[in-house]
Structure formats: C-alpha cells, structure tokens
Amino acid sequence: MQRVFVTGGCGFLGIPLVRGLLEKGYRVSIIDTAPLDEPLYEQVEFTQGDVCDSRLLGELCRGVDYVIHNAAILPVSRSKKKILWDVNVRGTRNVFEAALQSNVKKVIFISSSAPYGIPKSAPIRESTPFNPVCDYGRSKIAAEGVCNEYRAKGLDIVILRPRTIVGQGRLGLFQILYSWIADNKNIYIIGSGNNLFQIISEEDMVAACILSIEKVCTNQDFNLGMKKCKTVREDLSDLIRYAQSTSKIISIPAPFARCVLGFLDFLNLVPFTAWHYKTPDKAFYFDSIKAQTMLGWEPTQSSLDVFRGSYDWYLQRRREIDSQFGTTHRTSIKQKILRLLKKFS
C-alpha cells in the first residue's frame, strides 16, 4: 500500500482530499496545526504540528511515497508578512527538503490563482505572467520559486493552481455571502458583475490531486478551473433565486469601491485584503486544456450545482457555523463594519 503524506490535511480541501485518497486505497498521514475533528482517526496517522518544524517533517516523510503540500496561511487570516513567509515559503522549503532526503517519488504543491493578480487578458494559461496584488500572492510566487530550486535538485514537483475552490464546508467569505442571502439582505458587488468568474468544485480539485500522483507529469504546472463559467451577476442571481431570497444585487462603481475598501482595509475594519477588492470585477478564468490533456482530468460540476450544494450545507449547520470564528476556509470570519452595513441592507 502506497503512502501519501498530506500537509494541511485538516483544512477545507484537506479533509475531502484525505477521504479521496483513502477511497483509492492509499495509506494517509497528516500534519496540521488544527486538530483532526473529523471521524478519520482510525483511518489515518495524524500529527498536530507545523510545517515550520523541519525536524518533525523529516521524521514524518520517512517511508512516504508521495507528498501533497496543502498547508498555507490564507489571505483572510490577515497575517503579517513575516508569518506568511514563514509558513508559505520557509515551510514549503522544509517540506521539500524532507521529501528530498526521504527519496519521495513525487510532491504535489497546491499553489493558487493569486500569483496572477490582475491579468492583462483571459483565459489565463500556465504561461501567463504573474502580476500579484497582495502579499499572499507574492508568497505563493516565492514558494513556486522554491519548487524550481528543488526540481533542479532532482525532486519531482507538480504545481497545481486552482481557481476559487467551492464546496460543502467552504466558509470564510462565502459564509458572509450565504448569511446575507439567507437573511434577504442586498448583495453588493464591485463593478457591474458582468465579468466571467470561474470556480472549481472540491471534488474536481481532489480528482486533480490524485491524478497528479498517478499520471506521469514530471515537474509540470497545471491551472485548474471548471469548463464553463458564468458572470459574477449570473452566479449570484442563480443562487439568490435558488435560495428563494429577496436579496437584490447592488453594483458599486469599481474605482470608488476599491478606494473605500482600501482605506477600510488599512484600518482593519473589513474582512477583505487587496486580493478581494482589486480583482473581483476582472475577467478571471483559466484555460485548463493542459491538465485535461496530460492528466486526463475532466471537471464535472457546474457553478450552479456547486453553489447550491455549498449553500445548503451552510443552512443545515448555520447556528453552529455563525457562532464560531477563525481564519481559515473552514470557519466563519468576523464581518467587522459589514455588520453595520447588513443592518441597513
């Protein structure tokens, strides 16, 4: 039985990824700073720890066939740049060094769409130049630089760059959206909302991770997103209609919105970072032909199906979800000044 070591295995992507690996017959071990709160204890080897601990990683990588490096500090955490770099860059180096020393067959690195920032054109391909707008995106670019260093040392590293991952259990900013729709509050968007916005389902992302292990794709980079995407306004309208909500979509002129949100972000009065208010009015979607050709990967779900499933999951657990806060995609985040806006929406 082949062994897979997953960093960040207790996160929003980590949990379904671990389940998918177990279903495929892999033996799975996990490291995460968060406790394993899912009924997986008897099926996995779990260590509560940090990817900044190089000694611990060296121990955990022994006898491992594959590593999926998913651990990262996210933009919603609003962490200082040093913490972002410690985890997203130095932690990545620690994982790769441990994998190299243990002769791991392949490492799958979960990157992000954030390095592309505000692209000059779409669709975005693997060859599109990076243009980050926030420290998180810059940290992911630096981490990809570490990937190239260790590729040169002989470590096979596959980079996956997903668009926004949505699914059951995805909260963060989506929890704010879902709660406003459920409460029939107006939904404010930056710009007209007529720009194409791409997502990827957690199931399709898990499939891409597993195919990256199983297929020959030495040192390749893949951009991942669903085949057909709608505009921001269309996706929101579909979800509002499905929820039978009376919420209305209100467009805010993009220059004004960015100016106001930038100031409120500086004052730490909103749960957004530059990534969230500088890009949402831009056409942002990937060309995933390379993944479809080399991996045989085929995204299977539509944005409507994904958003419906995610919204329903939230509604079923709303009382518990709305009372627990954190800084990950599996927790609610504090709305700050948005709570006041919600009252008048």
CATH number at 328 reads 3.90.25
112 pLDDT band, cuts 50/70/90, is: very high
Q: pLDDT digit string (tens) for 202-231? A: 999 999 999 999 999 999 999 999 999 999
pLDDT at 345: 82
> What average pLDDT score do residues 153-164 get?
98
> What average pLDDT score do residues 60-69 get?
98
Residue 90 within any structural domain of the chain: yes
User: Could you count the other beta carbons within 10 Å of the beta carbon of residue 315?
Assistant: 14
Residue 55 within any structural domain of the chain: yes
pLDDT at 273: 86
Let me know the angle formed at the C-alpha of 193 by 190 and 194, rounded to the nearest 5 degrees: 145
> What average pLDDT score do residues 264-269 get?
90
Residue 146 within any structural domain of the chain: yes
Instruction: State how far the alpha carbon of 6 is from the alpha carbons of 21, 51, 92, 215, in Å.
Output: 10, 11, 13, 18
> What average pLDDT score do residues 185-196 get?
97
Q: Map tokens 């459920």 to a residue.
A: 182
pLDDT at 89: 97
β pairing state of 157-162 and 196-197: unpaired
Residue 126 within any structural domain of the chain: yes
Residues 72 and 110 in one domain: yes
What gap in Å lies between CA 262 and CA 259, rounded to an integer? Answer: 5
328 pLDDT band, cuts 50/70/90, is: low
> What average pLDDT score do residues 322-332 get?
62
Residue 296 within any structural domain of the chain: no
What gap in Å lies between CA 110 and CA 51, rounded to an integer? Answer: 14
Coil, helix or strand for 344? coil
Which domain CATH number covers 85? Answer: 3.40.50.720
Residue 91 pLDDT more than 60? yes
Residues 37 and 67 in one domain: yes
pLDDT at 332: 62
Residues 78 and 211 in one domain: yes
Residues 246 and 107 in one domain: no
Residue 272 pLDDT more than 90? no
Residues 55 and 188 in one domain: no
Total domains in the fold of the chain:
2
β pairing state of 230-231 and 196-197: antiparallel
Annotation says 26 is catalytic: no
How many percent of the chain have pLDDT more than 90? 76
Residues 160 and 262 in one domain: no
Residues 212 and 244 in one domain: no
> Of the ranges 34-38, 98-102, 330-334, which is most confident?
98-102
Q: What is the 3-state secondary structure (H, E, C) of 111-128?
A: CCCHHHCCCCCCCECCCC
pLDDT at 109: 99
Structure pTM? Answer: 0.93
Residues 210 and 258 in one domain: no
Residue 272 within any structural domain of the chain: yes
Residues 271 and 209 in one domain: no
Mean pLDDT (the chain, rounded): 92
Residues 69 and 117 in one domain: yes
Question: Which residues, 6+ apart, have CB-to-CB distance to 273 below 8 Å?
Answer: 75, 76, 78, 134, 136, 265
Structural domain span for residue 160? 3-165+199-224
Residue 253 pLDDT more than 90? yes
Residues 134 and 186 in one domain: no
Residue 293 within any structural domain of the chain: no
Kindly name the residue from 66, 116, 136, 150 that is annotated as catalytic. 136
Residue 291 within any structural domain of the chain: no
φ and ψ at 81, to 5 degrees? -55, -40
Residues 181 and 80 in one domain: no
Lowest mean pLDDT: which of 2-16, 201-215, 322-336? Answer: 322-336
Q: pLDDT digit string (tens) for 174-190? A: 899 999 999 999 999 99
pLDDT at 78: 57
Q: What beta strand segments (E) does 9-156 contain?
A: 27-32, 44-48, 66-69, 106-110
